[in-house]
Amino acid sequence: MAADRESDSSPVEYTPSLRASRFRSVAGPSRSRRRMSFGRKVWYAILVALAKGLLRLIWSTCRVTVVKGAGHLTALRQSGQPAVIAYWHQMHVFGAWLLLREARAGLPLAVLTSPSVSGEVPAAMMTDWGIMPVRGSSTRSAAEALREMYTVVATDRRSLAITADGPKGPLHEFKPGAILLARMSKAPVVLFAYAASRATRWSSWDRFIVPWPFSRVAIVIGAPWRVPAGFQMADMPEAARTLSETLDALEREAASLL
């Protein structure tokens, strides 16, 4: 099959399903398919304002001491090459900081968010920041979501940010979505991680990291990783293990910089 042939510089052509075509990024960010009442819309608007305010507070009081490997994203931005950007789910706070910084620097960027009503808050935040939300789920209609993400990367030429261990974990288990997308689109995978000098870890499945105000933060961005030539689906576990170990190593390196 075409997907099993040796990699080249051109993305593999995939025809999106009829349902997937309704969510193509050329039509703009999509909303959830559930209609919200006026009261719910007001409540979600309040949640968006509160979430953005909390992030601004953390970002403005913490000090990012180093962003090691920033040149990797700069090179992609200057070349126009889209990438699959992946990080652990627990690292949303300064993951969002880095993505916003890159978007403002001119990187065409999209972020995968839930297609359900619960995804309205992050989707609204991304839209306000000029980042395209892609409404898809890696746990429900995964094939459809993969095709939608492929369109964003291969056709629209936007880098797509995705949490490597998915929306529900398990913790630090690198899911195949980012690798499959990179294989289909021929885009590199760029990993990053951060560490904070002082932080709280929630008791949630992802051990969500919330840096304390006035703490120091270090971010490390890895070199682009490309799917090897001749990659087969049987190679998926080894690739996922390699990327998982790389992400963990980036986190340890970030901690050492503090």
Q: What is the pLDDT of residue 6?
A: 41
Residue 137 is predicted with a pLDDT of 60
The predicted-structure confidence for 167-212, as pLDDT tens digits, reads as follows 888 999 999 999 999 999 999 999 999 999 999 999 999 999 999 9
Which residue shows structure tokens 């001491």? 65
Could you state, in order of their start, the residue ranges of all structural domains in the chain? 36-256
- Reference 89, options 199, 193, 240, 8; nearest CA is 193
Give the angle 123-127-128 at the CA atoms, nearest 5°: 120
* Of residues 163, 185, 182, the one with CA closest to residue 226: 182
CA gyration radius for the chain? 18
Which structure tokens are listed for 149? 């993400």
Q: Which pLDDT score is estimated for 12?
A: 52
**Residue 66: beta bridge partners?**
218
pLDDT at 223: 97
The helix/strand/coil state of 109 is: strand
State residue 229's pLDDT score: 92
Which residues of the chain register pLDDT less than 70?
1-36, 116-118, 136-142
Compute the distance between CA of residue 151 and CA of residue 184 in angstroms, rounded to an integer: 10
Distance CA 66, CA 217 (A): 7
3-class state of residue 193 by DSSP:
strand
Q: Is the separation of the CB atoms in 146 and 178 below 8 Å?
A: no
Q: What is the mean pLDDT of the chain?
A: 86
Among 165, 185, 29, 31, CA closest to 95: 165
- Locate tokens 């620097």: which residue? 105
Taking the mean position of all CA atoms in its chain, how far away is CA 22? 21
Three-state DSSP state, 189 = strand
Residue 112 to residues 37, 163, 255, Cα–Cα distance (Å): 24, 8, 27
State the Cα–Cα distance between residues 208 and 124, nearest whole angstrom: 21
Question: What CATH architecture does domain 36-256 belong to?
Answer: 3-Layer(aba) Sandwich (3.40)
